[in-house]
Structure 1
Amino acid sequence: MARKLFGEISPLTFAIAVQRQIVLRKLANFRHRAALARTREQADLPVNVYSHNSLIRRKLGTVDLALQENKAISLGLAAPHIDGILIRPGETFSFWTLVGRCSAKKGYRTGLTISHNGPAEGIGGGLCQFTNLLHWMVLHSPLEIVEHHHHGEIDLFPDFNRQIPFGTGTSIVYNYLDYRVRNATQNTFQFRVTVTDDYLRGELRAQEPLDVKYHIKERDSYFQQVGPDVYRRNSVYRSVGDKRTGNELANELVVQNNARVLYDRTLIKAPIRADSFA
């Protein structure tokens, strides 16, 4: 039997391990404080690089719908901390640096989280939808992703009105699992984010137009039986094209997913390939 990590011994050691990670990240933030994006501009930058609307309430298997309502409230509380933020040349955007710690005292509600590769509940749960939106917009820009976490090893819920490829989401935990992007260009970028009754709406804007256009494509998407389990596999690529000539300048692998399906396989609306030992 593998030896347990300190944080796996008991709830107390887990809490100690988490607090240690939080303190270490705060120290790292302090050392690099000048490089983090903190300036906000309420006027739109002139160029709309990419925009996306993310449906707030989704059917997630048998998850209590009250958690979806709570998520809507938490998203509304977090949005003003991100809306209007500028990412100037050389700066790094940090989600948790701007949003801060979520607490019931601040009005955040209990929402869906992921713990030990399964669904759980926690204050501020569901805010990963926020960084999912930001990440999808960033993939359509030259911003450099410097910190990104996601649960690529599990597929928790069946698809419900999916608009973006599986596996392009994010996982965040205050504050040591962050979502961060760096602006290594000479252009200035801006996030605009609002919450309506039904959608989390986002825009990535810029001071100057881009010379290139980005396209995200999913390839080799399928489900496969492996022993008693079913796995969801796909690859996601990003194509970069020259706006003037239309020529493709680059085609890069963004992520390759091999996720074990945790829900009832009868809910899979696609053929399942035969067992394989590959």
Structure 2
Amino acid sequence: MRKLFCEISPLTYKISVEKERTLRICKDFISNVLFAEEKSDDILPIVINKHNSLIRRKLGNVDMELQENKANNLSLAAPMINKICIKPNEVFSFWKLVGKPTERKGYKSGLTISGGKSSSGIGGGMCQFTNLIHWMVLHTPLTIIEHHHHDAYDLFPDFNRQIPFGTGTSIMYNYLDYRFKNETKNTYQIIVYLTNDYLCGEIRCDSKLNVKYHIESEDEYFSKEGDDVYRNGKVFRKEIDVKTGKCINKECIRINHAKVMYDTVNIKIGK
């Protein structure tokens, strides 16, 4: 099979990355997108959703030093996001707010995922940040306009999983971003901070909503396909009327079919 230009050598890969980054800058410049930039110390009153994400997790045989470095990286990025307000018609962009993670800024080598394999790179581990934001945004009427998955592969056995498989994000400065748009009449605000063990987040609003959202996984099972094992399942988002408690809408937001990349000896195959 003929290699892509970016696969020929480390140099061609670097050239390809710089091309994509330049294209992103140009597209943003000519798009006239109204990006969220204003922060406020006046915390909005209504908590729509909150979530805590464990920072140091055992991920297969991944070096725990990368987890420590991730904690460092998250601590540098959190202040760039904390207290950001997303007003009507504004777009939240993770990379617009955080900027390029570099050694000069204090970022260290953390866990990265590429081509279905784990690796390491400066600023690695930031996808945990966008995972947290994405999970909270799913509990709002905000419109997700850019979201990249890395769930074609199930890389690590579950370790105290709190949210459904397939609701993660993949980011790469700056051309793989996480973005959402506020197409409502309300203003939203993201609060994020770190404790010793957790990356903590809240998404707040200036007024109460008439609906709430539940994210649930259904029909989860592992299947054997040739010599490979796949993780299957569906993720649904339910919209609940606050007054009646009735489900007024249910949509499938993700269908998972991910190749399992770890030892499957103890996995039950089939429904």
1:130 counterpart residue number: 129
Q: Which amino acid aligns with 2:67?
A: Q
Contact map agreement 1:49 1:206 (CA 8 A) in 2: yes
Q: What CA deviation, in whole Å up to 9, does each residue of 1:5-47 have, x standing for no partner?
A: 2111111111001000001111122224551110101221010
Contact map agreement 2:81 2:98 (CA 8 A) in 1: yes
2:109 counterpart residue number: 110
Q: Indicate the SS of the match to 1:35.
A: coil
> Aligned ranges for residues 1-278 of structure 1 at < 5 Å?
1=1, 3-32=2-31, 35-266=34-265, 268=267, 271-273=268-270
Segments of structure 2 that go 5 or more residues without pairing to the other structure are none
Structure 1 segments of 4 or more deviating over 4 A? none
In 2, Cα distance between the equivalents of 1:86 and 1:175? 21
Contact map agreement 1:158 1:267 (CA 8 A) in 2: no
Q: Which amino acid aligns with 2:139?
A: H
In 1, Cα distance between the equivalents of 2:188 and 2:32? 19
Q: Which amino acid aligns with 1:131?
A: T
In 1, Cα distance between the equivalents of 2:101 and 2:52? 23
Contact map agreement 2:33 2:91 (CA 8 A) in 1: no
In 2, Cα distance between the equivalents of 1:34 and 1:114? 29
Contact map agreement 2:72 2:107 (CA 8 A) in 1: yes
User: Residue 125 of structure 1: CA displacement?
Assistant: 0.6
Contact map agreement 1:148 1:179 (CA 8 A) in 2: yes
In 2, Cα distance between the equivalents of 1:93 and 1:109? 25
In 2, Cα distance between the equivalents of 1:56 and 1:182? 27
User: Residue 80 of structure 1: CA displacement?
Assistant: 0.3
In 1, Cα distance between the equivalents of 2:238 and 2:251? 7
TM-score with structure 1 setting the length: 0.95
Q: Indicate the SS of the match to 1:36.
A: coil
User: Residue 267 of structure 1: CA displacement?
Assistant: 5.3
In 2, Cα distance between the equivalents of 1:182 and 1:22? 21
Q: Indicate the SS of the match to 2:265.
A: helix
- The percentage of aligned residue pairs carrying the same residue is 56
TM-score with structure 2 setting the length: 0.98
User: Residue 222 of structure 1: CA displacement?
Assistant: 0.8
Q: Which amino acid aligns with 1:67?
A: L
In 2, Cα distance between the equivalents of 1:33 and 1:76? 31
Q: Which amino acid aligns with 1:260?
A: K
Q: Indicate the SS of the match to 1:50.
A: strand
Q: Which amino acid aligns with 2:226?
A: G
Between 149-158 and 24-33, report the one with greater CA deviation: 24-33
Q: CA RMSD in A?
A: 1.1
Q: Which amino acid aligns with 2:269?
A: I
Contact map agreement 2:66 2:109 (CA 8 A) in 1: yes
In 1, Cα distance between the equivalents of 2:8 and 2:168? 30
Q: Which amino acid aligns with 2:84?
A: I
Q: Indicate the SS of the match to 1:266.
A: coil
In 1, Cα distance between the equivalents of 2:33 and 2:263? 49
Q: Which amino acid aligns with 2:258?
A: A
Segments of structure 1 that go 5 or more residues without pairing to the other structure are none
In 2, Cα distance between the equivalents of 1:220 and 1:205? 32
In 2, Cα distance between the equivalents of 1:176 and 1:45? 31
In 1, Cα distance between the equivalents of 2:199 and 2:92? 19
Q: What CA deviation, in whole Å up to 9, does each residue of 1:53-104 have, x standing for no partner?
A: 0000000000000000000000000000000001100000000000000001
User: Residue 152 of structure 1: CA displacement?
Assistant: 2.0
Contact map agreement 2:239 2:249 (CA 8 A) in 1: yes
